[in-house]
Every structure is written in structure tokens, then in C-alpha cells.
Structure 1
């Protein structure tokens, strides 16, 4: 029996936040925003159909793939309660309404099926999510407090900074869970490791210790570590756990194997013989209802009836029979997804921009399309981030190239630099999109001539 709308928890949680959630619609220039957090980035075909229907009926028909492997609906009108009710009926909400903000755990979109994984982390991930939903103390965490867990997959987002990151590693023939604080496995080594059967206990202890130690204004792990330092945090953590933390130099000196580049695009073999995963990029992170419906229908016809959203703003179909992978790729392309890494638009990300955000200084989406066309015509494909302001909402880590809007249609150009903070090294100021394209094309030709 369907629960009546009046009995459902549609009000926002007690803790104020500017971040949208499923139960809290946040206003923007183009209407309300609703963010749907997906466990491990996974959504069933039936749920995807519900998202498409909700976006079409109660919003402006814009669905965004986020860089945390979630979905959000933009342009929500006056009947937000009906939109929320439709999503709840589809099982897209939390089991505990108070936990909507804190279900921030990122897994690889190929967790459990990646040939390079050393561990299927999905069972551990499920336990962590269950605790985030049902442990009242953890609901005090900030909506921005985020965790990541990887099992050594070849396809994994390793560059996004997380308050707590975890990686499976093998030391002396034993599989352990190494972890770090306020960083990422692409740049940092673990501070310690625990056995698999104590990993869940460690996660809860880390989160509770953070809440015990942090002041109200310290909402992220990095804020707390500025005061007490990582070494002191690990000391306090060890005192809370019944099992010792392993800080062997082989662990604290361990480096995560780099992830495969562009493996979220095209066809990837799976661990399971005869099966593949097939992926395509959502152009500039924007899905139409028809695109989502087509992809959902395809998942039923050719895969396992689920979609895996990725932190690269793309969609993957898992468990596609190898002999049907080509057809799946063609169908994704026909649905409007970008299925080739050589397509410049597949490597461009852009925030909402001035078209829908009051803080945006330029229409970044429109400018990104112009830039992609310029690069395409010259055979150049490069990872580029267009940001309408300094908040950098569209990118969770620094891109190789960043265009920071300074006015309508004009940008400062930055190149990522290990020794420069923020976006990196400033290359040129106040460029038009045409000038940016010319410079990047010239740089590309210069580097290939060397």
C-alpha cells in the first residue's frame, strides 16, 4: 500500500544546508534543484524512468549527471512535493529521512566486475551506507563530508579529494583496507590499514572521532587536521579501536596503481568471462528525459537492467554480452551519449554558468560547445574545465586545463601545475573562446612537432 503524501518526511532536515538533496529543493535561477544520491552510483532502469518522468512533469526536463556519480533534476516548479513523492515511490530516497545528506560514498562504477580489482568492495560499501543511514550520530556530518572506497579497480576515480578514502591493497599475501584522511589515493599513501573484517568498525570510529573533535565550523576533515594534525588523529583513533591499526612501512609507503585513462568510455572487458561494460559520456553533464529513457530501455534489452553513473559524468551498462557490446555502443551513441575519447566534447566539463546560476559570469555550457566545435575541426581532444566562478562546482579536482570566467564570453586560462595552488599556472588573461581554441590548437601542434 502506498504511503500517503502527508505521512512522508518531505521537510528538510534540521541542519541547515545550501546543498540540494532529494528532500530539500534548493532554488536557482532556472528553478529548484533536487539531488538524488545513488548507492554506488547504481540506478535501476525502472528508477531511471521515474527520474525522467519526474523531470518532465514537474521540472524543466533537465537532468544532470554529477561528478559524485549522482543525478540531479533542475528547473523544478511549484509542485515540488509531487516530484519528491514520485522519486520516493521509486525507491530513490533514503530508508531514514535524516540520512539524506550524508550518504556520500563513492565506489568504482565497475566495482565487482573490474578485471584488475583485488577485492569486491560492494559488501563493505553496503554496510557503510547502511550505517550512514541508520546511525543517528552520523547524521550530524556535513552534506559535503564524503568517503571513497576502491578495490584496486582499473576504472576508479582516484583524484577527487575525500574526507576519508579507502583502498584495498595486498601486503604479504593479505588483503587489507588502507585509508587516508582529507586526500586521495592518486596523491597520498595510506596513514594505516585494517583487516577487511574490521574495516567497517574503523569507518564508524573515524566518523565518530571527527564529530567528537571538530568544532561546529570545522565541517570537513581538512579543517580539523589543521588543528590537531593527521598523526594525532590516528593516535586518538587507535585508542578507540579494539584491534590495532597496521602502520607497517610497506603500508604507509604504498602507492595506488594509476587508473586507466578514459576507461569509462567505450567497451571494457569484465572480470566475468564473456561480459563487458559499455559506457558513454553525458554531453556537458546534461541528460534529457528521452536520453535517460533510451539508456534505461537499452539496459533492460542488452545488460542487467541497471545503469552505473560515473564521476566522469558518464553512464555505463554492465554485464553486456561481449558479442552485443558493439550494438550497445551504437545504441548509446544513438541515444545522444559521447562514445569516443577522441570527441573533444567527451572531455569537456562545464558548470551551470550564468544561464542558471546567479554567481556565473559567463554562459559556460554554450561556450563549451563553441570550444568543442573549434577543437573538433582541428583534431584536438583535451580535458578542459570551464568554471563560471571561483567556486569550481563542476570539478571535484583540478583539471589539466581550466577556463575561469571573468566576464560574459571571456576567460582566464590556467594549466594544472603541481607547485601552484588553485587551478594552477595562469597562462593568459581575459581570452575569448576563439582565442582559447587557437592557443590550445597551437599548443597541440607544437607538442606533436617536438
Structure 2
């Protein structure tokens, strides 16, 4: 029997950033091994049918005919020509996907994908996301944020709250109780990085409070001289806490109640999360109005434009005319009639998308790998697909990942950067010069010797 994988921590010393953030955007294209790469920020993952069609047109006419979904609910276009920047910007601008040329890389806003869709109808924090995005785009100071800075807006089920946001807003049960679906009332917990404390603020103040917290980070990072891109990168002597943010909120006229045990308050909010559907799992979700939401995953986060256009057509013909992208590299189609949901699910499955939670592709991810990335040691996507075809999710065909880490996601990486890896606990399948190395990453685990297994 193969040896058990090692268990190791993810944390490291905060880096000293001596250069600007080089994250790609829709206007700043990244030179990859397979051509230029564009990353289009999709706030809260929300796309209209028209916007989705524009992305497919961009992939077909300017790119390699495929779209990649990121772990932040954004879209990447690959295989772009070096001189395509102008036509791409014009196409995206016309579709409303480029609201501000100066802010387009900093609009990393995640929101609970099923907010307002399932039968329990928790607060629709997605309206908070729209207000926050508008405030970001109106702030000249916000342009200094890194393309990696992350806002997270959770509807109370705890799905995106666990994804390591720099600034997180979690709707409290009082917001849910009103069942207005507006997300405008009630209260929210605001958390800053990994600070165990939190701030309780009124729902209408949530978007402005989140922006204020981000601007406070920028001031703190400048004072530290560290060049930090994210709150966790600040040096210890310049740690940003909820109390620091509370002072800025009061100066801005926003009332904030300090909650010492923010983690405990969050557990209280999400105590009944098991009642809510899991937005990372494919399948049909029953809504309060008799409608259905269809959750679909893209194998390893990549779709052909044919698959994407099929999703878009279903959203237009049977759904609400919208799509929602998820941080689990999936797509939610809201508003389907009950009679259509099962048939459409079967149609999408036949097209190669994941609609069954028992699929071996569920909770399996990979970086770009070769040939798209010159830093990768191998074609990890092809290797991962071969493992799935052989009935495994790792190259050695060893114990199921559920036996290693309680069903944690598995991520294949072509180099030690581990681009796109999951947050929290995950099974790390890392390509090395000697083959694949498999370990379980736990954020707070003690160091352990890693074992390398042949590919």
C-alpha cells in the first residue's frame, strides 16, 4: 500500500514587496507561454447573458476558444495575440465589463453564489457587492490596492467567509429574518484579515465600511514600508486590527460595535449552515418560488466556448437571463422552471460539464501547467485527467483523499508557486523533478517531512 501523504503547514513569513503588483487584468495582459492572458474581474460572479456572450466572442475571435474560471469567480482568456489589447478593451467596455479602466484589476469581490436563490432565502448580500463595487470605482485612493486584495461578502451560510478574504462581511441572522432579499437591513460582521475580533455594523453601512477598511489597510501598508499587497503580509509591528478600522469608521460617521470573539460570533451566524445548500456542490437547488437554480462545475475550471454558449442559451431561454460564477470554478444558472431543470442538467452533463456531486471531477483542481505556463514542470491537467480516467484523483492511485483530509479538495500544481490552490485544508499534488509529491496542507499543522512518490 502506498505511504500516507505528509501533513504540512501553509503559512510562511510575510514577504517584503519591493515591486508593484503584476497581476493581470483586462487591460494589463500577461505574457504566458501560450500567448497573452487577460483576467476579467466579474464582481460577485454576476454576468448578464449579453456579458457572457461577449466573453465567448472574445475567446473565439481573439483567444484560444476557451474560458478559464478562477478561484475568485473571475474569468481568464488565454492565447491572446500581443496586439489584441485595443479590440479586447472595446468589446469588454461595450458589454459593461469594464466600468473603470483605473480600477478594473482591484475589483475582487466574492459573494455567496446562492444568496437569495434557495428555499431559506438568506440575505441577498449581492446588492452589497454592487454598492461596494460602485464605491471602489469612485475612489481614487482605491486604485492603489493590489490585484490580489480580496473582499468577501457572505450571506450567513459560511461558504465564502472561509475563503481568506482581506475584508469580509458576513450577514447576521437579523438580516436573514426579514426575508426581504434586499440585503439592505439587519447587521453584518466585518472582519479584517485574520484578526479574531470583528465589528458589528448596520447593513446599510456595510459596503462603505468595507471600502473604509481597505483604505485603512493602504495607509497601514504605506506606513510599514513593506509594500504589502494583502493584510496578512503586513509585518507584526504594523498589524491591522478591527480596533484600528473601528477608529476610521467612527471618523467616517459609521457606528461599529467591537466584538472580541469574532470567530465565535461567526460560528453563531453559521450554526445552521447545514440547512442551506452547498454552493460548491453541483446539482439542482430548490428555490422559495418553485424555481430552481442549477449548479454546474467545469472540469479543472476550463470550458470551451461551445459549453459556455450552451450555459448562456439555457440562462436566456429557461433561466432569469443571468449567470453566477463561483469560486469553486462553477456556474450557477438561476430561475429555471422545475420541469426544465432536470432535462437541462442532463444536457449539460452530456456536454462534458459536471452536474453530479459524485463525479471524480468534483473538488479536483489544477493550475495551468504546460504548455500554457513556462514555469510548470509538466502538463498537470493532462496528468490529472489521466488519473481520473484511471479511477483515481492522484498519480499513485492510493487512498482516496477523503481518507486523508476529510474530503478536502485536491489540487495539482506544476511548480512550487501552486497557483490557484484552495484555501484551508487541501491535498497538494505537486510536480517535482523527481515526480509528484503528495501532501495534506493544513493551515496550522506542525511541520512534517514530505514524501515524494514517483509519477
TM bin (shorter chain): 0.7 to 0.9
Distance 2:72 2:362 in 1: 17
Deviation of 1:114 after TM superposition, in Å, equals: 3.3
C-alpha distance in structure 1 between counterparts of 2:390 and 2:351, whole Å: 24
Please identify which structure carries the higher helix content. 1
Q: Is contact 1:405-1:412 (8 Å) kept?
A: yes
User: CA separation in 2, counterparts of 1:426 and 1:414?
Assistant: 10
Aligned partner of 2:138 in structure 1 is: 134
- Which piece of structure 1 moves more, 380-389 or 328-337? 380-389
C-alpha distance in structure 2 between counterparts of 1:381 and 1:335, whole Å: 27
Residue in 2 that maps onto 1:290: 306
Q: Which residue of 2 is the match for residue 109 of structure 1? A: 113
Report runs of 4+ in structure 1 exceeding 6 Å deviation: 171-174
Over 3 Å counting, the alpha-carbon distance change for 1:227 and 1:146 in structure 2 is same
Aligned counterparts, 1:162-311, within 5 A: 162-170=165-173, 175-183=186-194, 190-215=197-222, 217-224=227-234, 226-229=236-239, 230=241, 233-234=244-245, 236-237=247-248, 239-248=250-259, 253-254=264-265, 255=267, 256-257=269-270, 258=273, 261=278, 263-270=280-287, 272-311=288-327
Contact 1:416 / 1:425 at 8 angstroms: preserved in 2?
Answer: no
Instruction: Provide closer, same or farther for how the CA distance between residues 236 and 277 of structure 1 changes in structure 2, counting only shifts above 3 A.
Output: same
**Alignment partner of 2:294: what SS?**
strand
CA RMSD of the aligned region, Å? 2.7
Q: What SS does the corresponding residue of 2:372 show, helix, strand or coil?
A: coil
Question: Does 2:92 match 1:87?
Answer: yes
Q: Which residue of structure 1 lines up, in the alignment, with residue 339 of structure 2? A: 323
2:59 to 55, 69, 73: 55
Post-superposition offset of 1:206: 1.2
Contact 1:52 1:289 in 2 (8 A): yes
Structure 1 CA distance for aligned equivalents of residues 191 and 306 of structure 2? 41
Q: Secondary structure at the match of 1:349?
A: strand
Q: Answer yes or no: is the 8 Å Cα contact 2:168–2:190 preserved in 1.
A: yes
Give the drift of 1:245: 1.8
Q: Which moved more, 1:220-229 or 1:341-350?
A: 220-229
Structure 2: distance between partners of 1:261 and 1:122: 17
Deviates more, 1:396-405 or 1:223-232: 223-232
Query: Would you say 1:416 and 2:441 are equivalent positions?
Result: yes
Alpha-carbon distance in 2 for matches of 1:39, 1:262: 17
Greater shift, 22-31 or 190-199, is seen at 190-199
2:246 and 2:256 in contact (8 A); partners too: no
Segments of 5+ residues of structure 1 without an aligned counterpart are: 1-14, 433-450
SS of match in other structure, 1:343: coil
1:158 partnered with 2:199: no
Q: Distance in 2 between matches of 1:353 and 1:309?
A: 23
Distance apart, 1:418 and its partner CA: 5.1
**Which of residues 30, 34, 43 in structure 1 aligns to 2:34?**
30
Deviation at 1:276, TM superposition (A): 1.1
CA positional deviation for 1:237? 3.1
Unaligned runs of 5+ in 2: 1-18, 178-184, 403-408
Q: Which 10-residue stretch deviates more, 172-181 or 160-169?
A: 172-181
Do the aligned residues in 2 keep the contact of 1:344 with 1:372 (CA within 8 Å)?
yes
Partner of 2:149: 145
Number of residue pairs the alignment of both structures matches: 408
CA offsets, 1:364-384, max 9 Å, x none? 101110121223699968531
Q: Which residue of 1 aligns with 2:406?
A: none
Offset of residue 242 of structure 1: 2.6
Indicate if the aligned counterparts of 1:205 and 1:240 stay in contact, CA closer than 8 A. no
8 Å contact kept, 2:112–2:126: no
Cα 1:44–1:198, aligned 2, differ >3 Å: closer, same or farther?
Answer: closer
Q: How far is the alpha carbon of 1:197 from its aligned partner?
A: 2.4
* Per-residue deviation, 1:300: 1.2
Structure 1 residue matching 2:189: 3-state secondary structure:
strand
